Structures are given as structure tokens and as C-alpha cells.
Structure 1
């Protein structure tokens, strides 16, 4: 029997993020100004047809987990396996500058930072998915991390990024540890996703105490127009 973490986008969109979801039968997605993720609850051709009604021609979106069979109306990139990691114990939070909650009035700062080191994933309304926290140096957002997908008993940590001028200062470690502890204290399991080739980030999470739960398929697809493909 599959676990909810095996299809996290779907589980999030049908539960804690249902208010954000655009849905057609067994297909669902986040609005394009919120996140690039789509999902299906059943991997069949009917769900693929329902998904087509939610995605604009020329738009590129991402599956994390289950992917339905997609026909000639789609361009499908090769599947990439990413690490899904979880943590079950509180972490030590290193000393450092104050951590502040990044409210919607800070979205321009978040977009500027993510444009440097986390492009495509963070959108103008990504902040509506959960809480985000950061560390500032004066007026510069030096590092940030926050909450993205969520469903009963589980909370994803995402958008962990550091401004290139502030790497090596432990800011990301401090943010992830503090957020992990807060999630655990609320009775939820923190999880995150990281590409295997992002060796530095994966090593950081392992040092903190995160362990590999599974490899999850990430598939990028683009809906094609009539006559394409």
C-alpha cells in the first residue's frame, strides 16, 4: 500500500491546500502564480485528460510522485529521481542573527533571493502555501526557508536558499533546524526534497539529522498546442 508521502502534491491539494487547488476529477494543480506542481490521484488516461483542462498550451509543470500516461499532446522530459528526506528528532539550532517571519509584505525580497538561487519554483503567491522565515543583513535577505506542501501529519520544508554573498555562515542550517523543531513540536513530520546532484544541500540535511525515506520521481511536462508533438 502506498504512503501519502509517495504522492505529496496530490495529498496536499486534496487536504490542507484544497482552498488553493484547481481541480478536475482525479487531476489537480496549484495556480501558476503559486507553484508549478500538478498531480493525479489515479495514474490513468482519464486523469491525464482531466489534467489537460487545467494546463495552458505552452505551460510547463511538474509532477512529484505519481505521473499518468501522457499522450501526444504533451512534451515529457525524462524522469529524475530526487531524494525525499524526513526527520524524527529535534535538532540543535546554532547561534546566529535573528530569524524573522517573512510576511507577504516581504515577497519582493523573497522573489529577489529565489531568482538568484531557486528560480522557477518560487512564485508571487508561493507565500500563501505556508510560513516562511528569513535572516537579514540590514536590508538584504541573506537566507530563507519555509513551508510548502502539507497534509495531515506531514509538512514539507522548502525554498531553503542562501544569497551567494552569505554562504558558509550557517544561516540555512539555522533556519532548517528551527523550522524542523517547530514542525515536530506541532506533532507533524517534517520532510523535504533535494536533488542528488545538489551534494552540498543533501550533505547539510544529513548532518542535521535528516534521513532518506525514498527516491521520488520528478517529471517535467509541457502541454503542446494542436499540431505539435
Structure 2
């Protein structure tokens, strides 16, 4: 490419070298633009960063990454960017295990049947609420909600119909769980351990956090689509 052609290309400056910033910079160049990513840290990667010291790897990677299983659009993005090339992806059968001060514990399995049996053992008195949560999780397992390469405003009429069909089985539960704050859900539980444990299914400030993301991520993990890329952005053998 000539110098004149190179300088005539559109250019973009991206503030922040996390996953979104790096992806934007890559796609800009893949689309014929020039891109500059500005990052204040010494390493790029944001919440998917790792570093080595004295033979040890300190993995500050996010707890999980949606799109680690093949065959979905999120995975297509990571593959196009090379983000998962050479990565070892680890999947877990649970999101978390919470232990109370009295030694009692609750494990949040990604399988709704196993989760329901376990939760009922922890607190039979909360059976209606717990069964409802696990049934919602089963519904999320049947839905394909990770199709997002084409934003709604740019979809054709056919693509919009296909998206509506995919969401149809869980439309009512999507609306209900997105409008239900986690603190309102936990207030319905009688067992004090469960009231404290549910907000820690994964590590979020739950006070105004809706119930929907918990179900969505647990369903993705059940499908092996929310694994942990070992080593973060550092990569293997570094």
C-alpha cells in the first residue's frame, strides 16, 4: 500500500485497551481503517489480563467468558479476533459455593435438576421459590439468546422474525426476570444462608441487579459456553 493510500484511510482513536477496545481496534483495521488504542495500564486486556513474576502466572482473567463453545455468534467474534487461539478453556459444573459462618454451605450447580435437589436439601421450607428459579433456568437452557452480530436496528425483516422466534419460548420469563431485582427475589427466601448466598452466584453488586443475568449465564455455563480462558490475555507459555 502506498503512503498516500495509507494516510487517506479513515482513522479512529479508541480509549481503553480492554476486550471491547481491542476488538474495536482489530475490526477497524480489518475494515480498512487505521486504529490507535490508548491504554493507561502497562498491559492490554482489561478484565482479561494476566502477568508473570518469578515463574508464577497471576491470572486476573474474568471469571468466565461467554462464547467459549463453538457454533454461536459470540464464539465467531473470538475466533475472528484470534482471542481464543491456543487457549485452554476450562468449564466448571458450578458457578460458586458459598459457606456460611455456621459452616453450612450451598453450591450453585449449572444443571437445574442437580441444583434443585441440592437447594431443597438446604431449605425444604423454600421449595416454591427454589423450584420456580430452577424452572426458569430450564427455560433459558432451551433458548438461543447469544445472537448479536447484527444489531436490531440493522436487521432485515427476516432476521428480525428469526430473532423473535428464538426468543419466543422465554419471552415472558425474560420480561419478568429482567424486571425482578435480585434483592426482591432473595427477600422471598426464608433460609438466611440462601438469602446471603444467591447474590454470590457470581460476584456482582446485587442491590439493583436483575435476576435475568444470573439465569442467562448459568444456562450458558450448562452448555459449556461460559468457560474460563486460562492465562487471561497473557496466553500459554508466556
Shared fold per TM-score greater than 0.5: no
Structure with the bigger percentage of helix: 2
User: Which has the greater radius of gyration?
Assistant: 2
TM-score (norm 1): 0.27
- The answer to which structure has the higher strand fraction is 1
Please, what TM-score do these two structures have when normalized by structure 2? 0.26
